[in-house]
Amino acid sequence: MRYNWDLENLGENIKRSVQDAVDTKDFGSLNQTIRNTINSAFGGAMESTTPPDIDLGTGASSKRKTYEHRKQETNYDRSKTVTPANTALYTGIAGKKAFAIALTAVGYSMGAITALAFLAAAVSSSMVGGSLLHVALSTLGALIVPFAAMAVIGTRRLGRIKRFQLYLNTIKGEQYCNVKDLAKRIMKPDKYVVKDLHWMLKNMWFLQGHLDDKNTCLMTTDAAYREYCRLMRQREEQLKAESERAAAAAEAERGRKQSMDPQVLSIIEKGNEFIKKIRACNDAIPGEDVSAKIFRMETLTRRIFARVEEEPDTVSDIRRLMEYYLPTAVKLLEAYKDLDAQPVQGENIISSKREIEETLDTLNGAFEVLLDDMFQDTAWDVSSDVSVLKTMLAQEGLTEKDFKTGGRR
């Protein structure tokens, strides 16, 4: 007799048998019907002290498999299994299933019989009366509750066993499995599966199982969980190091600002605000050509203020930049952004955009000249140093001509 794993229909079959007995008023075959249902669901395990050999993937008896089938399955296991063959990862479920079936059968059958007896006693009590019938009613009523609880617990346990088998079929012997994949297999929300897995882990159905901190991944081996913990520690150390570097950089920046002239610091901060506005306009304008012009303006502006930070004396060179050029540039860019966002691009809009693009070229040229002028003192210093160096080399007879003649005239 085959080992039937249709767990969901077991409770329904028992309830149907009880209902048929109630409808036909024939309870003589109720016990035998329930026994047959149980044996059908459990493959005759109620009549045997040794449960059949079950393959969790197919539900078929391994004793009936041919040698060729066993050979094929052995090859499959060797290619998929990621842990040694003698390492147990999952609990056996034959005993759990037998207990759940027995619990369900007893709960439904005895609950139904107790309920019918309660109804019969209630009818007799209303017709005859008597203290003994009242006692019987109280006793039967009290018995209905635990039998109903047994039926509910057994049915839930059978459903959980079936889901456990589906989880194993989805995992396929791997060390990792996403909770989303398991939820998709049983067609339930992720939260439902997480709650299910926590129960199974607590009750050691997954002997080496663990969930990650975010309940998104199931690890089926201790080795996989140790590797996960190692990676998490490594990530925490990296985040801590990055946080410390950021804190150190922020502290250095605060020290730099404190040592800077307040007037220069104020100008640099205003300049950074202009740079942010230029970048925002560039992000909002999709055209590649105009975007390249805006990026060039942002780069030049950034270099100008970096020069001011390096040489605070150059702050006087950018007075017009701060008072007129940058505010005008930002105003033009914002106007261009609004024009470019219009759904209909008429001749006036196209002409205005073209004029703004030409103005951007003019401004970029002016910014380049300004940046070059800010390095004028440095250029003079370099020129002076080069002139002095050449004079010294000539005096020492170390010019290129002297190298060729060995210092001889």
Give the model confidence (pLDDT) of 298-346 as tens digits.
999 999 998 888 888 888 888 888 888 899 899 999 999 999 999 999 9
Nearest-CA neighbor of 279 among 257, 263, 301? 301
Q: What average pLDDT does this structure show over 70-77? A: 41
Q: What average pLDDT does this structure show over 205-216? A: 92
Find the radius of gyration of the CA atoms of the chain: 43
pLDDT of 121 over the 50 cut: yes
More confident site: 386 or 37: 386
Q: 191: which 2 tokens? A: 């939260």
Tell me the pLDDT band of 404, cut-offs 50, 70 and 90.
low
Tell me the pLDDT band of 61, cut-offs 50, 70 and 90.
very low
**What is the distance between the alpha carbons of residues 37 and 35, in angstroms, rounded to a whole number?**
5
Burial 175-189 (b: 16+ CB within 10 A, else e): bebebeebbebeeee
Q: What is the pLDDT of residue 183?
A: 94
Q: What is the pLDDT of residue 373?
A: 84
The greatest distance separating any two alpha carbons of the chain, rounded to the nearest whole angstrom, comes to 148
Q: What is the pLDDT of residue 211?
A: 94
Work out the angle at residue 25's Cα, subtended by the Cα atoms of residues 24 and 27, and round it to the nearest 5 degrees.
Answer: 105
**What is the distance between the alpha carbons of residues 15 and 318, in angstroms, rounded to a whole number?**
90
Task: Say which residue the tokens 């009242």 belong to.
Answer: 134
Determine contact, residues 308/314, Cβ cutoff 8 Å: yes
pTM above 0.75, yes or no: no
Q: What is the pLDDT of residue 31?
A: 54
- Summarised one tens digit per residue, pLDDT across range 272-287 is 999 999 999 999 999 8
Q: What is the pLDDT of residue 226?
A: 93
Report the DSSP pairing between strands 210-211 and 176-178.
Answer: unpaired
Q: How far is CA 241 from CA 237, 252, 255, 314, in A?
A: 6, 16, 21, 37
Q: What is the pLDDT of residue 170?
A: 93
How much of the chain, in percent, has pLDDT values that exceed 90? 37
Q: What average pLDDT does this structure show over 240-256? A: 87
How much of the chain, in percent, has pLDDT values that exceed 70? 66
Q: What is the pLDDT of residue 168?
A: 93
Q: What is the pLDDT of residue 195?
A: 94
Q: What average pLDDT does this structure show over 336-364? A: 92
pLDDT of 122 over the 90 cut: no
More confident site: 143 or 90: 90
Q: Which residues share a beta bridge with 176?
A: 219
Determine contact, residues 376/384, Cβ cutoff 8 Å: no
Q: What is the pLDDT of residue 194?
A: 95
Q: What is the pLDDT of residue 216?
A: 93
Tell me the pLDDT band of 388, cut-offs 50, 70 and 90.
low
Q: 83: which 2 tokens? A: 């842990």
Q: What average pLDDT does this structure show over 44-66? A: 39
Work out the angle at residue 268's Cα, subtended by the Cα atoms of residues 265 and 274, and round it to the nearest 5 degrees.
Answer: 145
Determine contact, residues 285/294, Cβ cutoff 8 Å: yes
Q: What average pLDDT does this structure show over 55-71? A: 40
Q: What is the pLDDT of residue 145?
A: 80
CB neighbour list of residue 280: distance below 8 Å, 6 or more residues apart: none
Nearest-CA neighbor of 213 among 199, 196, 200, 194? 194
pLDDT of 51 over the 80 cut: no
Q: What is the pLDDT of residue 218?
A: 95
